[in-house]
Chain A
Amino acid sequence: MRNAFADELTKLGNEDSRVVMLSGDIGNRLFDKFKDKHPSRFFNCGVAEANMMGVAAGMAMNGLRPVAYTITPFVTTRCLEQIRTDVCYHEAPVTIVAVGAGLAYSGLGPTHHACEDISFLRSIPNMVVICPGDAFEVRGALRAAMQQDRPVYIRMGKKGEPVVHKGPIADFKIGKAITIEEGSDVCLLSTGNMLPEAIEAAHKLKEKGISAEVVSFHTVKPLDEDKLKQAFSRFKLVATIEEHSLIGGFGAAVSEWLVDSETQAKKFLRFGTPDAFFKKSGEQEYAREVLGLTGHQIADKIIHALS
């Protein structure tokens, strides 16, 4: 996802002279092309994320379109006050791009995990929260973010994730979920880098004769309410899937919507990370397995819930 981000950013930088890139001393060589073309619009802000976010807000208040980028916890929780007050309160069109969301950087330990960021950021007024499901959604989200006039948070995985879409998404819209596979029994609403697991779960369910629809619910705020209405009326089971805490994340947002809209869920399951730091060493696949977040484990739980 991060290479797609850097590439799309370079294109946007070519098209729009307001685009400025701020990085928190990460992404070795990732932005070489952007730097080459637009040396005066690239800033390595160092290991000083609070300052980076304030600088981004100041630029955005004065007609620029800054993108602030670093590892997820450092571009969210480390500078949350600046995001809340400088960016969101001022409705400054800063695009915050996070790499390594959820447990993408599992091996680096809890200082680098990010399973609370959706919760924090979606509770801030004026903020839009997008969790792209693959590299093409990253491109679509970045482009869409630049085309409007408000703060946006884009939560990416790392690099080398499976690419789900066949090509660029022409009609990517913030707040409009994308149906990846159609189905008739259960509906899997996935956000962010869990999309490949959701697809795998659907395939496992199919083997058991259960038809699953897979939706990339890339925007967590604002929610695609039409999609939710359809899902809860058409399917006998709806599941939310995310690499984020069950507290305050996508599943929590859908739960809130269910209550507030007085919608009756037939069966509703939420897949996400527990209320605990994942302290064990190990890469993302291992962490997902331990936490029951792989496609086959999700499928098993759904089968169990239906029986």
Chain B
Amino acid sequence: MNVAVRNTAAKPDVAALKAQAAKLRGKIIEMSHKAQAAHLASSLSCADAMTAAYWHVLNIDPKNPTDPLRDRFILSKGHAAAALFATLAMKGYFPIEELDTYCQDGGRLAEHPPANLLPGVEAATGSLGHGLPLGCGMALAGRIKGENYRVFALLSDGENNEGSVWEAAMFAAAQKLENVCVVVDYNKWQATARSNETLMLAPLRDKWAAFGWDAHEIDGHDVAALAEAMQNIPNGSGKPVALIAHTVKGKGVSFMEDDNNWHYRAPTAEEVVKSFKELGLS
């Protein structure tokens, strides 16, 4: 068994994580403005989960992005690529300046995470419902090879519409993939309508529990709570863990919060300034 050493005891530094989350949101807003790209609200919605994962939980080394023992993080809701690209750049996987090439001709940063192109991106996502099956495969590969890394998959609530998610959920439970953790960014919006008016997700925690997962509801903007729950994987339940993270789409900027126009809209220069003020950034 190749055992990765993890510091599970460390308490999250709440103030530092909060500051980091604000910085991440600022970067995402800048990128969306510059590229006039869609999915800003989707990216802001999961910024706290990304921060908890990358700045507290994941056992990763940006200088060694293919370390076999690294924890795997899959942004299954690939349309929030801006959040992933900004995170990876801030962590040092590639130069921060490369974020300026987001959506530019000839670059590596298209609107969804690419395959085999950018260090730190574990899987190409963008077609919803692929991340968890891939994650189950990664976790089983670890089990077979005797590597104890963990696999985190961040899913959107709309993504829970896909049958493939539930096929993987049953598979993971049967295989007792206790190293797998799903975080559902439950912001109650999809692309064109309210989630529960599209397909009935509720009661979402109960569904995951009924599918054999150790499922918990959590405040998806409480970085400390997210960090602790994710760091605790595997948590001794013997089951894969689902964190149903209650979130607000567009979180962090008052005039974007819970306004689904920002699923497609990109901010003007003026709106960027306003957002930065609200986030306490200059």
A residues within 8 Å of B by Cβ?
A: 23, 25-28, 44-48, 50-51, 73-74, 78, 107-112, 277, 279-283, 286
A to B CB contacts below 8 Å, 30 in the list: A25-B193, A26-B192, A28-B191, A46-B199, A47-B159, A48-B163, A51-B163, A107-B110, A108-B110, A108-B112, A109-B112, A109-B124, A110-B115, A110-B124, A111-B124, A112-B112, A112-B126, A279-B115, A280-B105, A280-B108, A280-B110, A281-B102, A281-B107, A281-B108, A281-B109, A281-B110, A282-B106, A282-B107, A282-B110, A286-B106
Give Cα A111–Cα B124 distance, bound, in whole angstroms. 8
B14 contacts partner chain A, Cβ-Cβ < 8 Å = no
- Give the residues in chain A near B112, CB-CB below 8 Å: 108-109, 111-112
Tell whether, in the assembled complex, residue A280 and residue B163 are in contact, meaning their CB atoms are under 8 Å apart: no
| Contact yes or no, B117 A282, CB < 8 A | no
Residues of B within 8 A of A73 (CB): 127
A203 to B184 CA separation, bound complex (whole angstroms)? 53
B78:A111 contact, CB within 8 angstroms? yes
The answer, among A46, A78, A109, A277, for a CB contact under 8 Å with B190, is A46
Asked if residues B107 and A47 are in contact (CB atoms below 8 Å), the reply is no
Task: Decide: A109 and B126 in contact? CB cutoff 8 A.
Answer: yes
Q: Which of B115-163 contact A (CB under 8 A)?
A: 115, 117, 124-129, 158-159, 161-163
Report the separation of the CA atoms of residues A119 and B212 in the bound assembly, to the nearest whole angstrom: 40
Q: How far is the CA of A46 from the CA of B113 in the complex (A)?
A: 22
In contact, A46 and B158 (Cβ under 8 angstroms): yes
A280 touches B127 (CB 8 A): no
Closest 10 CB pairs of A and B: A111-B126, A109-B110, A282-B105, A46-B161, A281-B110, A47-B161, A281-B107, A46-B199, A48-B161, A109-B112
Please indicate the chain B residues that have their CB under 8 angstroms from the CB of A44 in the complex.
Answer: 192-193, 198
Chain B residues closer than 8 Å to A26, beta-carbon distance: 191-192
Once A73-B127, A112-B112, A279-B114 are accepted as A-B contacts, the answer to whether A107 and B190 lie under 8 Å apart by CB is no
B103 lies within 8 A of A47 (CB): no
A28 to chain B, nearest CB (A): 5
- Shortest Cβ gap from B89 to chain A (Å): 15
Q: Is the CB of A109 within 8 A of B114?
A: yes
Contact assessment for A108 and B106 in the assembled complex, using a CB-CB cutoff below 8 Å: no
The smallest beta-carbon distance between B101 and chain A, in angstroms, is: 7
CB pair B110–A47 under 8 Å, yes or no, is no
For this complex, into which size category does the number of interface residues on chain B fall?
35 or more
Q: How far is the CA of A111 from the CA of B121 in the complex (A)?
A: 15
Is the CB of B263 closer than 8 A to any CB of chain A? Answer: yes
Q: Which of B78, B102, B127, B263 contacts A78 (CB 8 A)?
A: B127
B contact residues around A48 at 8 Å (CB): 161-163, 199
B interface residues with partner A (beta carbon < 8 Å): 37, 78, 101-115, 117, 124-129, 158-159, 161-163, 190-193, 198-199, 263-264
Q: How far is the CB of A179 from chain B (nearest CB, A)?
A: 35
* Contact across chains for A28 and B110 when beta carbons are under 8 A apart: no
Q: A45-B199, A108-B110 are in contact. List 18 more A-B contacts (CB 8 A).
A: A26-B192, A28-B264, A45-B198, A47-B162, A47-B191, A74-B127, A107-B37, A107-B111, A108-B112, A109-B113, A110-B114, A111-B125, A112-B112, A112-B126, A281-B102, A281-B108, A282-B106, A282-B107
Q: Are B111 and A27 in contact (CB under 8 A)?
A: no
Question: Contacts of B114 on A, CB cut-off 8 Å?
Answer: 109-110, 279
Distance A168 CA – B264 CA, assembled complex (angstroms): 31
Q: A25 to B191, Cβ gap below 8 A?
A: yes
- In the bound complex, CA of A283 to CA of B103 (Å): 8
Determine whether the beta carbon of B105 is less than 8 Å from that of A25: no
**What residues of chain A lie closer than 8 Å to B158, measured between beta carbons?**
25, 46-47
Residues of A within 8 A of B124 (CB): 109-111
CB distance from A184 to the nearest CB of B (A): 38
Cα of A179 to Cα of B190 in the assembled complex, Å: 43
B264: chain A residues within 8 A (beta carbon): 28
Q: How far is the CA of A107 from the CA of B186 in the complex (A)?
A: 27
B191 touches A279 (CB 8 A): no
> B residues within 8 A CB of A23?
192
How far apart are the CA atoms of A282 and B107 in the complex, in Å? Answer: 7
A280:B199 contact, CB within 8 angstroms: no
Residues in chain A near residue B193, CB distance under 8 A: 25, 44
When chains A and B are docked, how far (Å) is the Cα of A111 from the Cα of B134? 15
